[in-house]
Structure 1
Amino acid sequence: MKQDEAADTLEDELFFIHQLKCSLKEKYQCVFEGIAKQGDSTLLNNIYTDLYITQGCSEQVNTEHEVRQIEVASRRHESQEIQVECKNLFEAPEQDKQIRTVLTKGVAGIGKSVSVQKFVLDWAEGKENQDISFIFPLPFREMNLKEKEKLSLMDLITQFFPETKGLNLTRRNQKSSSLDVLLTNLIKGNLLPSALIWITTRPAAASKIPPDCIDRLTEIRGFNDAQKEEYFRKRFTDENLAKEIIDHVKQSKSLFIMCHIPVFCWISATVLQNILEEKKNNDVKNNQADDASKKLQESNTEDTPKTLTQMYAHFLRFQILQSRRKYDGEYTPDVSWDKDAILSLGKLAFHQLERNNVIFYDTDLKDCGIDVYKASVYSGMCTQIFKEETGIVLGTMYCFVHLSIQEFIAALYAHLFLDINKKCVFDQDFVHV
């Protein structure tokens, strides 16, 4: 929000700005790839790769599958589009136009959250947008848990940012209202009319925002071809490993297209790095093995994934093996454990797809036989989004790292269900296990 709408005095304003920047820097300086808290922490500035963001997009809701949307987007000509830098979202191309509200849409895993994280971190570190006094990132997923409460704007802000308690952003008393009324008034400018609003959303939900309230419409398209390669080079300090992975991904059109999605780049990097490391270990063993052993070991490394299905199968296998090592201390072969894990995850994926859900809760996991505490066992497959602010648990929500992963596991579940029960999972007269 602009400085003329900030705290009543310069001294108070500087104090709150400093407190907020310190808090946001600590919160946003690291990125956890793949999963929220169980993943490996990395400094965002070390691996951040600019995303391809374009001005405008189709006004109609795209009902095609998100993977299909990515395939279509990959065929567009970049020269025909207006590219927007994330740091310049509120800068108007025409000097006489003021941009107050920006709506950015993008499919799941395309980089919306990381873009917001980078924008906030650059401000907190004093690098960009220093004409903005305060930034308050408010996640809809968590705010939705407060939909039945009546809150003022300051109530909402202080619950998410307790360090701002005592800050007065408005010069008039605010009435408490429901969350939807509060956010509507904020977007329309009835509350804090000089505040800058940036809304990020998936395409299907973009139509819920009144178009007359939006000053700029943008779309995050993920990585272009050059940015895909940049991602892998930043992720791996070993240049040879990065080049090998890039070369492999380029060999498959479907894999290379899917790498428009940063999350899929992470999946590919995870799988291919593991396969290449296994191959190197086998090469060492081959030097000491007989011919029969060599042939067996070579056959185990020849199935490097070339399709999306193969990539997801390898990813699932890798995560289960990682879970075994975490809880058993070693890669102990246990087929029954694998089947139980896959069936539990599959049941969750399948039933949530039936309900058109990509976000689910503790009770959903329990209904599928997944222990909430052990949700992290399925590291990389199930993302735990857990926030705790001001001593109050705002809620725990889960989602698969990407919709296509959820669909793959649901399809695998349907196959296993048929094989085990000799019944189709779509048979409504049969009780699902």
Structure 2
Amino acid sequence: MVCAVFSKLQNFLKTHKNNMTKKAKCIFEGNKENDTDLKTVYTELFITEGDMKDVNHEHEILKIDDAFMNKKTPDKPIKCNDIFTELRKNNEEKIVLTKGVAGIGKTVSVHKFILDWAEENTNQDIDCVFLLPFREINMIKDREVSLHEFLLKFYPELKNLEKSKLYKECKLAFILDGLDESRLPFNFKSETLDTVEERSSVD
């Protein structure tokens, strides 16, 4: 029985990687007929650690470049695939926030991170990656859901999986994409949910 459950989990993870590869390998320009292979157009973002208070928030790359040139302290560049590297040293939950002006390539970087993981090129210590776009999260903002129900909205294939195996034995990464599109109130409460079945509001 244990082998059967393990095999089911392994099959799910393999299928999930294939599905995530399909989702991430192309970017869509305008509509889904105009899809472009991500690898042919991807340019590494200049990601730095810390808060970029000096960056000009106008949507012009030259002004951003100027802001970086005029900074007094040196920036520590981080490759997209290495974004969790420094945080892996202690075995606890890790939270990373990337920010920058709209259209600079944050979502494309997210897709590259997922594609490299799904194709087993990097970050293989992460067992499963879930991409959760705020544009779609907005559609369920007025309901109370459990974590498992929430993920089922995006990944219905989780329905047939042994929940305890996935949530207790796997290292999971949740990528919340498009914070600027969120319509959630973000009234955070000091509420702790102890199981994946406990319900709460999405915010």
TM-score (norm 2): 0.71
Residue type at the aligned position of 2:137: M
The structure that is helix-richer by fraction is 1
* Kept after mapping to 1: 8 A contact 2:20/2:114: yes
Distance 1:32 1:69, change over 3 A: closer
Q: Which of 102, 122, 128 pairs up with 1:128? A: 122
1:51–1:111 contact (8 Å) kept in structure 2: yes
**Residue 115 of structure 1 pairs with residue 109 of structure 2:** yes
* Aligned residue in 1 for 2:20: 24
Identity %: 33
- Structure 1: gaps (5+ residues): 1-7, 172-190, 211-433
Q: What amino acid is aligned across from residue 21 of structure 2 in structure 1?
A: K
Query: What is the CA-CA distance between 1:167 and the residue it aligns to?
Result: 2.2
Q: 1:12 to 1:53 in 2, by over 3 A?
A: same
Residue in 2 that maps onto 1:54: 48
Q: Distance in 1 between matches of 2:41 and 2:61?
A: 26
Please tell me the residue identity of whatever aligns with 1:37: K
Per-residue Cα deviation, 1:369-393 (whole angstroms, up to 9, x for no partner): xxxxxxxxxxxxxxxxxxxxxxxxx
Residues 152 and 159 in structure 2, CA contact (< 8 A), matched pair in contact too: yes
Secondary structure of 1:135's aligned partner: strand
Residue of 57, 63, 67 corresponding to 2:59: 67
Deviation at 1:150, TM superposition (A): 2.1
Distance 1:19 1:157 in 2: 16
SS at match of 2:160: coil
- State the number of aligned residues: 178
Of 32, 37, 40, which aligns to 1:37? 32
Q: Give the partner amino acid of 1:111.
A: G
Distance 1:128 1:20 in 2: 16
Report if the CA contact (8 A) 2:49-2:78 is conserved. yes
Q: How far has the Cα of 1:142 moved from its partner? A: 0.9
Task: Give, in angstroms, the shift of residue 152 of structure 1.
Answer: 1.5
Q: Is residue 12 from structure 1 mapped to residue 47 from structure 2 by the alignment? A: no
Tell me how far apart the structure 1 counterparts of residues 179 and 61 of structure 2 sit (CA, whole Å): 12
Note if 1:162 corresponds to 2:156.
Answer: yes
Structure 1 residues 167-207: Cα deviation after superposition (integer angstroms, max 9, x where no partner): 24447xxxxxxxxxxxxxxxxxxx999644444556898xx
C-alpha spacing 1:155/1:202, structure 2 compared with 1 (3 Å): closer
Q: Which amino acid aligns with 2:121?
A: K
For residues 70 and 98 of structure 1, what CA distance do their matches in structure 2 show?
A: 38
TM-superposition CA deviations, 1:55-104 (whole Å, max 9, x none): 111479x8x75237961553323881000111111111794585611111
Aligned CA distance change for structure 1 residues 16 and 209 (closer, same or farther; 3 Å): farther
Q: Which runs of 5+ in 2 are unaligned?
A: 189-203
Once structures 1 and 2 are overlaid, which stretch shifts more, 77-86 or 146-155? 77-86
Match of 2:85 in 1: 91
Paired position in structure 1 for 2:68: 76
What is the CA–CA distance in structure 1 between the aligned matches of 2:143 and 2:47, rounded to whole Å? 36
Separation (CA, whole Å) in 2 of partners of 1:197 and 1:209: 20
In structure 2, do the counterparts of structure 1 residues 150 and 123 end up closer, same or farther at CA, with 3 Å as the change threshold? same
Checking the alignment, whether the CA contact within 8 Å between 1:44 and 1:118 is kept in structure 2 is yes
Once residues 129 and 149 of structure 1 are traced to their aligned partners in structure 2, the CA distance between those partners, rounded to angstroms, is: 33
SS in 2 for 1:136: strand
Q: Name 2:200's counterpart in structure 1.
A: none
The higher-RCO structure (CA 8 Å, 6+ apart) is 2
CA contact (8 A) 2:24 2:111 kept: yes
- RMSD of Structure 2 on Structure 1 (CA): 3.6
TM-score (norm 1): 0.36
State the one-letter code of the partner of 1:91. T
Q: In the TM superposition, what whole-angstrom CA distance separates every residue of 1:320-343 from its partner, at most 9, and x where no partner exists?
A: xxxxxxxxxxxxxxxxxxxxxxxx
SS at match of 2:129: coil
Within 2, Cα distance between the matches of 1:168 and 1:84?
Answer: 36
1:3-59, Cα deviation, whole Å (9 max, x unpaired):
xxxxx94212211111111211122211223x2424x22211222221111111147
SS of residue paired to 1:165: helix
Amino acid in the other structure paired with 1:71: K
Residue aligned with 1:128, SS: coil
Judged with a 3 Å threshold, the aligned counterparts in structure 2 of structure 1 residues 104 and 43 are, in CA distance, closer, same or farther, namely: same
